[in-house]
Structures are given as C-alpha cells and as structure tokens.
Structure 1
Amino acid sequence: MDTRERLIESTRELLWERGYVGTSPKAIQQRSGAGQGSMYHHFSGKPDLALAAIDRSAAELRQRAEAAFTGPGSAVERVAAYLRRERDALKGCPVGRLTQDPDVMADPGLRRPVEETFTWLTGRIAELLEEGRAAGELDPALDPRVTATALVATLQGGYVLARAAGDAQVFATAVEGALSMLTR
C-alpha cells in the first residue's frame, strides 16, 4: 500500500474509532507511518484527507450493499441478505457513526458523502421492495420508500442498541424483527 493509501485507510479507522476531533494529524501520521511532509504532499489538510476517507467508507458501504442487492434470490431475499450480512455490530457503521459527529455534520463537504450514501441506500432498498411488491412477495399496500427508510433506520438503530448493550446479538434481533414485519 502506498503512502496515500495508508493515510486514507488510517484516517478511516481513526474516524470510526475516535471521530473527527479525535483524529488529529499526528495520530494519522503515527497510524499510517507517514511523515507530515508526505501527508501534506497528498492532501491539503485534515479536512481534505477526512473527505477522502469518508468517501472511501461510503463507497465501500455501497459496494457491499450492491453485492447483496444484485445477488441471487428474490427481492426480499436480497434485502434480507444485505441486512443479515456479517458486520461488527459493536463497532457500529463507519458511515452511520459519522452522523453523531458534530464536526462532520457541520461541514457541508464532509456531510455530503454521508447524506448521499444513506439516500442511495434507502433508494436501492425501495427499488427492491417495489420489485418484491410487483412480484407478489410483499403486500401490495406496502409503501416501498417508507419501508426502506424504516429498514435503514432499524439497521442504524440496531448498531446503537448493540453498542449500548455491549451485545452484538441485539443488532441481529433488530434485523430479524424488521424482516419479520416486512414479510408478515
């Protein structure tokens, strides 16, 4: 991995662990093994590097979701595959956790990839739910957009509940509860 990549990956990890304020340039340099000169050679400053890291986390989330969404099975099975995919529930979502960071949310540039990712995710799930409704898998009265929003909220809330309880099973229970309501 080259220096630029090490800087981005280190920043991603630190943002996930510590948030924006806790991710100092010194901590990034220490974690990445890059010097100050290298950091400022590749990025104009911490906000520029943080944006690259957030963009990377958002792209990874979309890539993993899309792999489940385009996999085998019915529309509902593909949504379930995404919701049930293996995650470290106690670490939380690397994109979702950023919504609790006031510095990220206050900066329109840093907030943009977070907002765009959740808008995309909700839209993709709504598309699959519409597909499932059209195929007779789901109740014709189901509102795909409203339901997709509830599923994304359950997923993100599941992380919060699991972290609060210190128990990843709480996340799995939230997912199963949402799926049972969806297919009832």
Structure 2
Amino acid sequence: MDTADRLIESTRELLWERGYVGTSPKAILQRSGAGQGSMYHHFTGKPDLALAAERRTVDEMRATVDALLSGPGTARERIAVYLRRERDVLRGCPVGRLTMDPDVVASPELRAPVEELFTWLRGRLTALVAEGQASGEFAPGLDPADTAAAIAATLQGGYVLARASDSVEPFDRAVSGILALLGPTP
C-alpha cells in the first residue's frame, strides 16, 4: 500500500472510530506511519484527506449494497439479505457516523458523499419496493419512496439503539420489525 493509500485507510478508520472532529492530523500520521510532509504532498489538508476517505468508504459501501440488492431472489428476499448482512453493529455505520459530526454536517463538501450515498440508497430501495409491488409481494398501497425511507431510517436507528444498549439485539429486532411490516415472505 502506498503512502496516499495508508493515509486514506487510516483516516477512514479514525473517522469511523472518532468522527471528523476527533480525528487529528497527528492521529492520522501516527496510525498511517507517514510523515507530515507526505500528508501535505498528497492532500491539501485534513478536509481534503477526509473527503478522499469518505469517498472510498461510500464507494465500497455502495458496491456492496448494490451487489446485495441486485442479487438473486425476490425483492423482499434481497431487502432482507441487505438488512441482515454481516456487519459490525456495535461500531455503527461508518457513513451514518458522519451525520453526527457537526463539522461534516456544516460543510457542503464533506456532507456531499454522505448525502449522495443515502439518496442513492433510498432510490435503489424505492425501485426494489416498486418491483415487489409489481410482482405482488408488497401491498399495492405502500408508497415505495416512503417505504424505502423507513427501511433506511430503521437500519440507521437500529445502529443507534444497539450502540446505546451495547447489544446487537435492538438492531436485530428493528430489522425483523421492518421486514414484518413489509409483509410475510411469499
């Protein structure tokens, strides 16, 4: 891994652990093993490096989610596979974590990758719910966009509940609850 990649990967981990505000250039340098000159050779500063780290996290997450939602099975089965995929629930969502950071939320540049991912996810889920309605899996009265927003919100809220209780049980219950609301497995 070259120096730029080490810096990006270290920043990704630190953003997930500490958020933007809690991630100092010194911590990034220590974790990456890079020198200060290297950081400023590759990036103009912490915001530029954080943006590169965010983009990589978002790109990887989008590819993973897209593969799951595009896989085999009914619309409901693909949503269930996405919701039940293996994840480190108690660490929380690496992208959702950024929404709790005031500096990220206040910066249109730093907020953009987060907003883009969640907009894409809601759109992808909206299409999948509409597909499920067309095939008779989901009730015709469901609003696909509202249902997609509820799925995404339940997932993010499940992380919060799990972290608050230091247990994956609230997350698992939230996922089971949203799937039950979608209706029985055909």
Q: Given the two structures, how large is their TM-score scaled by the length of structure 1?
A: 0.98
Separation (CA, whole Å) in 2 of partners of 1:121 and 1:183: 21
Separation (CA, whole Å) in 2 of partners of 1:6 and 1:180: 43
Unmatched segments (≥5 aa) in structure 1: none
**Alignment match, 1:113:** 113
What is the correspondence of 1:62-73 to structure 2 with a 5 Å cutoff?
Answer: 62-73=62-73
Separation (CA, whole Å) in 2 of partners of 1:113 and 1:18: 18
Which amino acid in structure 1 is aligned with residue 97 of structure 2? Answer: R
Separation (CA, whole Å) in 1 of partners of 2:134 and 2:64: 25
Separation (CA, whole Å) in 1 of partners of 2:172 and 2:126: 21
Q: Given the two structures, how large is their TM-score scaled by the length of structure 2?
A: 0.97
Q: CA deviation at 1:41?
A: 0.8
Q: CA deviation at 1:118?
A: 0.3
What is the correspondence of 1:1-184 to structure 2 with a 5 Å cutoff?
Answer: 1-184=1-184
Separation (CA, whole Å) in 1 of partners of 2:61 and 2:160: 18
Q: CA deviation at 1:104?
A: 0.4
Give the fraction of aligned pairs with identical amino acids, expressed as a percent: 68
Separation (CA, whole Å) in 2 of partners of 1:177 and 1:166: 20
Separation (CA, whole Å) in 2 of partners of 1:149 and 1:78: 16
Provide the alpha-carbon RMSD of the alignment: 0.7
Separation (CA, whole Å) in 1 of partners of 2:15 and 2:32: 13
Q: 1:75-131 CA deviation, whole Å, 9 max, x = no partner?
A: 111111101101111000000010000000001100001011100000000100000
Q: Could you say what secondary structure the match of 1:90 adopts?
A: helix
Which amino acid in structure 2 is aligned with residue 41 of structure 1? Answer: H
Paired positions, count = 184
Separation (CA, whole Å) in 2 of partners of 1:20 and 1:97: 10
Which amino acid in structure 1 is aligned with residue 87 of structure 2? Answer: R
